[in-house]
Structure 1
């Protein structure tokens, strides 16, 4: 019975408040990236980006925890943290690919797919404790998703009404 209780109350290498902070930060930063997609009424919006970010952060925290488990401290077992990045990238790529659609000669969903991929990277950074990288990446994403839309419109000579009309035509 003591073994069962000990197994249920697995001690973590990282203090629990640190784990909670990393997951909370991933939630907040994922929300910032997803907000713009939600505002634009894209299929993968706020909740999707948050969940991708939390999932990646959780995988990163678990990788740190697994690397410090005594069961994995033997010479016969090798842990490669790069596999974590590959696994998260593959999983997010699967989701993002589902967002990309080619219809009537136009590609839709590329920005949303790229945002999901970025949310996964931000989550990894949060989970691994590189919050500075995560915050900078999030700020850059918000700038690209908001400011660049205005710059694009001006460079292409389109105003918001023309862009809106183009999107409505694409949906038909």
Structure 2
């Protein structure tokens, strides 16, 4: 097998890990249950699984073995694996009336998808999805906190009347 193809897959995984790390860093700064390393590893693993599938498809040593491979099945496997990690971030914080960790679970799903995009070599799409995810986590979170503060302020004004 050609080493250059393997290096390309490794490069795709590195790109995925950098992009996943950017999202993980944001989660780490907010002291969330899954942070920098987790997000990097999930994105890298997703890219490697997709890349490995592509390598297996082109590996002529396996010709005549009756091997069939559907790249979308690899994506399904990534999503199934990420579901367990996401569930762990949610269940890890269920001790009170409030369910915590859902946004982090969603960010883990996003970095898995970003890893899949990088694995399929849709690097621009992966970068754009990373930027959009960071915007949602940072900007939308800030807007949401301001709106909730206004609702609480209006509620306390109503009780004073």
After the TM superposition, list the runs of 4 or more consecutive aligned residues in structure 1 that deviate by more than 6 angstroms. none
Q: How does 1:96-111 map to 2 (within 5 A)?
A: 96-101=86-91, 102-111=94-103
1: CA distance between counterparts of 2:67 and 2:82? 27
Partner of 1:115: 107
2: CA distance between counterparts of 1:80 and 1:67? 9
Partner of 1:128: 120
Of residues 11, 14, 34, the one that matches 2:24 is: 34
Contact residue 13 and residue 65 of structure 1 kept, 8 A: no
Q: How does 1:1-172 map to 2 (within 5 A)?
A: 10-12=1-3, 14=5, 16=7, 18-74=8-64, 76-101=66-91, 102-157=94-149
Unaligned 5+ segments in structure 1 are 1-9, 159-172
* Greater share of residues in helix: 2
Unaligned 5+ segments in structure 2 are 151-161
2: CA distance between counterparts of 1:73 and 1:133? 33
Can you list the C-alpha shifts for 1:101-150, whole angstroms capped at 9, x where unaligned? 33321101101111111111111111110111111110010000000111
Matched positions, count: 150
Can you list the C-alpha shifts for 1:74-107, whole angstroms capped at 9, x where unaligned? 3833211111011000111111111103332110
RMSD (Å) for aligned C-alpha atoms: 2.1
